[in-house]
């Protein structure tokens, strides 16, 4: 379960000419909430209500929806094959079925464990500092009928894990409880921190048997997002919010920017990275830099006081803070 924010919706309308009502009618968006709250282990720190609500999606349904849209637009979708090797100089990709595909451009949209990125690192085209900015997320999904006591709005919990946070997100069918943090700050204590958080929630022991984990980028966005005609987008490029870890918007927007770079450099593929990098840095990377500054303040300063100063800081201009997190204002303008 993930949330789409204000700027996600604007991007989807711009790229795909769709809107919220259509996405809701297709079941892509299955829940929404105008309210939110932030807690520490002692209780509620702040509660708020948004003018533009959070919208929640099931990622499997969401991703399949857009994959189908790509097929409808003319893309040839091949399933059941994995890319296993790359010939960077020839712009060729070989799959586990032995098929070799050659292309004018290669877009690496293969996630946080990107084989495309790893091939570029191995070839020396990208400096390998990836692991220093990796985070881990753990989640459990609880059917709503089993635990009706949960709040029907998203809650962020600070103070249960260093350099990260826990959460409780509502959905149409499930309540999602999770935790994430920067790996190098937690040093293997993820399950311990998650169990301590879950003790405060109305969950039974049987739910603890179904913990799911996955890595995510957490401030390790690449300043060189590819090589010549090979471009990295979304999580493969580390394009996720360094404070909250949200990545849907950055995936969509970097895909749009990569498409613009491909169109502009179509007759000169080797020029694609130069164009892509310029567009990316002028829009997304500058935001991520300032979000990283905010993260430093929240997790290294506020954490000393168990996040008690956070409500004071937010109430100075709570609406502005909400709009920054929601994508309606720039991190840059308010750092």
Q: Quote the pLDDT of residue 94.
A: 94
Would 71 be classed as within a structural domain?
no
Contacts 24+ apart (CB under 8 A), 19-25: 20/55, 23/55
Structural domain ending residue among the three candidates 182, 217, 252:
217
Say if residue 117 is in the same domain as residue 143. Answer: no
Q: Quote the pLDDT of residue 1.
A: 44
Q: Quote the pLDDT of residue 137.
A: 96
CATH number at residue 242: 3.50.50.60
Across residues 107-112, what is the average pLDDT?
A: 95
Say if residue 109 is in the same domain as residue 148. Answer: no
Q: Quote the pLDDT of residue 30.
A: 85
Say if residue 279 is in the same domain as residue 161. Answer: no
How many domains are contained in the chain?
2
CATH number at residue 178: 3.30.9.30
Q: Is the pLDDT of residue 2 over 60?
A: no
Q: Quote the pLDDT of residue 126.
A: 92
Rounded CA separation 147/201 (Å): 10
Would 247 be classed as within a structural domain?
yes
Across residues 270-291, what is the average pLDDT?
A: 93
Domain range for residue 287? 104-130+222-295
pLDDT band at 28 (very low <50, low <70, confident <90, very high): confident
Structural domain ending residue among the three candidates 183, 217, 251:
217
Which of 38-42, 50-54, 212-216, 298-302 has the lowest average pLDDT?
50-54
Say if residue 140 is in the same domain as residue 197. Answer: yes
Would 55 be classed as within a structural domain?
yes
pLDDT band at 268 (very low <50, low <70, confident <90, very high): very high
What is the chain's mean pLDDT, rounded?
Answer: 88
Q: Quote the pLDDT of residue 45.
A: 94
Would 173 be classed as within a structural domain?
yes
Across residues 66-95, what is the average pLDDT?
A: 91
DSSP state of 42: T
Q: Is the pLDDT of residue 31 over 50?
A: yes
Say if residue 147 is in the same domain as residue 192. Answer: yes
Q: Quote the pLDDT of residue 52.
A: 80
Q: Quote the pLDDT of residue 335.
A: 47
Say if residue 147 is in the same domain as residue 278. Answer: no
Say if residue 50 is in the same domain as residue 140. Answer: yes
DSSP string for residues in 251-288: HHHHHHHHHHHHHHTTT-GGGHHHHHHHHHIIIIIHHH
The string of pLDDT tens digits covering residues 139-198 is: 999 998 887 789 999 999 999 999 999 999 998 889 999 999 999 999 889 999 999 999
- Find residue 95's DSSP bridge partners: 83
Say if residue 290 is in the same domain as residue 259. Answer: yes
The string of pLDDT tens digits covering residues 293-331 is: 889 989 999 999 999 988 888 777 666 666 666 555 555
Would 42 be classed as within a structural domain?
yes
Would 112 be classed as within a structural domain?
yes
Say if residue 277 is in the same domain as residue 136. Answer: no
Sign of CA dihedral 131, 216, 50, 47: negative
Q: Quote the pLDDT of residue 101.
A: 94
Across residues 267-284, what is the average pLDDT?
A: 95
On whether the CB atoms of residues 326 and 50 are closer than 8 A, the answer is yes
Would 230 be classed as within a structural domain?
yes
Rounded CA separation 5/327 (Å): 7
Say if residue 18 is in the same domain as residue 108. Answer: no
Say if residue 48 is in the same domain as residue 111. Answer: no
Q: Is the pLDDT of residue 6 over 50?
A: no
Q: Is the pLDDT of residue 39 over 60?
A: yes
Across residues 21-48, what is the average pLDDT?
A: 90
Structural domain ending residue among the three candidates 186, 217, 248:
217
Would 150 be classed as within a structural domain?
yes
pLDDT band at 129 (very low <50, low <70, confident <90, very high): confident
Say if residue 137 is in the same domain as residue 186. Answer: yes
């Amino acid at each position: 379960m993930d949330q789409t924010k204000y700027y996600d919706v604007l991007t989807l309308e711009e790229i795909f000419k769709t809107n919220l009502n259509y996405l809701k009618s297709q079941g892509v968006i299955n829940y929404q909430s105008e309210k939110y709250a932030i807690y520490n282990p002692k209780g509620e720190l702040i509660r708020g209500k948004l003018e533009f609500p959070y919208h929640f999606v099931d990622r499997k349904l969401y991703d399949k929806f857009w994959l189908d849209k790509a097929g409808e637009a003319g893309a040839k979708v091949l399933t059941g094959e994995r890319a296993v090797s790359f010939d960077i100089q020839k712009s060729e990709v070989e799959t586990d079925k032995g098929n070799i595909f050659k292309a004018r451009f290669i877009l690496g949209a293969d996630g946080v464990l990107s084989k495309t990125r790893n091939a570029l690192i191995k070839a020396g085209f990208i400096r390998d500092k990836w692991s220093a900015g990796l985070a881990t997320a753990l989640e459990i999904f609880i059917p709503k009928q089993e635990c009706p006591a949960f709040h029907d709005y998203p809650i962020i919990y600070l103070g249960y894990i260093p350099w990260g946070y826990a959460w409780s997100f509502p959905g149409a069918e499930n309540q999602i409880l999770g935790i994430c943090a920067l790996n190098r700050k937690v040093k293997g204590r993820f399950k311990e921190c998650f169990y301590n958080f879950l003790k405060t929630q109305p969950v039974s022991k049987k739910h603890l048997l179904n913990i799911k984990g996955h890595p995510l980028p957490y401030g390790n966005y690449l300043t060189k997002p590819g090589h010549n005609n090979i471009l990295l987008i979304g999580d493969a490029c580390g394009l996720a919010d360094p404070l909250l870890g949200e990545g849907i918007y950055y995936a969509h927007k970097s895909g749009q920017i990569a498409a613009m770079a491909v169109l502009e450099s179509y007759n000169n593929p080797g020029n694609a990275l130069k164009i892509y990098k310029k567009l990316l840095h002028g829009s997304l990377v500058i935001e991520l830099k300032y979000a990283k500054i905010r993260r430093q303040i929240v997790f290294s300063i506020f954490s000393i006081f168990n996040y008690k100063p956070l409500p004071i800081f937010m109430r100075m201009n709570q609406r502005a803070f909400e709009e920054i997190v929601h994508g309606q204002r720039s991190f840059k303008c308010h750092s």
